[in-house]
Amino acid sequence: MIELVVLDIGGTTVDEHGDVYVALEAAVAAAGGAPEAEDVQRWKGAGKREAIAGLLSETGSEPPGEDTVEQAFADFRARLASAYAARPPEPLPGVPEALATLRRQGVKVALTTGFDRVVAEAVLSNLDWDERVLDAVVCVDDVTAGRPAPYMIFRAMEQAGVRDVGAVLAAGDTVRDMEAGTNAGAAMVVGVLSGGHSATDLGATPHTHLVPSVADLPVLLRYER
């Protein structure tokens, strides 16, 4: 019996039009890195400060200092805020209805994200997603390490009052999302194909299921036909 569904935000429950990774790549390039598309792909699902530091280390001319990373992170947030103001994120099709169905069946719903709290709250506020829609929201700055570490899932369990990881379904659109679910020992680790990773990428990562969208979770859990 699944008691808690833990979901990523961008690309999993929310369509943010890929703007986060455009902003990330631009901020890293402005700070002296030279990331290619495949470099950015490897960091999808990670905490964004960690991704910036990693990309600068991998593609820059020298290891970045802490100040360089913080300046690049501030630049990233400014670029992302501008992009979101021009084209606000929106729920992926069928997701609000799926979340409502799960909660009506007594399943708690938590979101976890590689966004920091400031960015995540701005996105969710714009969507009008609050305690009427969600039982918990965990951001990367709430834990000591982001994905693939399982800590955000454990924090979501704590906030939702769920003690048994064997009653948790973890789902996301990136390899790191699925690795976090596996590392947490979740009963169900579900890759969703609504984001930036293909079925080939996600299928090569340990999982229990692959589905087109979070909108398919009620059927997967047999709450809908």
Mean pLDDT of 157-178: 97
Q: What whole-number percentage of the chain has pLDDT above 70?
A: 100
* CATH number of the domain bearing residue 100: 3.40.50.1000
Same domain, 184 and 165: yes
Same domain? For 96 and 202 the reply is: yes
Mean pLDDT of the chain: 96
Q: Which of 53, 69, 86 is the last residue of a domain?
A: 86
Query: Do 98 and 60 fall within a single domain?
Result: no
pLDDT of residue 38: 92
Question: What is the span of the domain harbouring residue 202?
Answer: 4-16+89-220
Given this model, what pLDDT does residue 166 score?
A: 98
pLDDT digits (tens, 9 = 90+) for 88-144: 999 999 999 999 999 999 999 999 999 999 999 999 999 999 999 999 999 999 999
Asked, for residue 51, whether it belongs to a domain, the answer is: yes
Q: How many domains does the chain have?
A: 2
Residue 144 and residue 190 in one domain: yes
Tens digit of pLDDT for each residue in 200-211? 999 999 999 999
Domain of 23, CATH number, reads: 1.10.150
Is 225 domain-assigned?
no
Q: 59 and 105 in one domain?
A: no
Same domain membership, residue 108 and residue 41:
no
State the residue for tokens 């400014």: 78
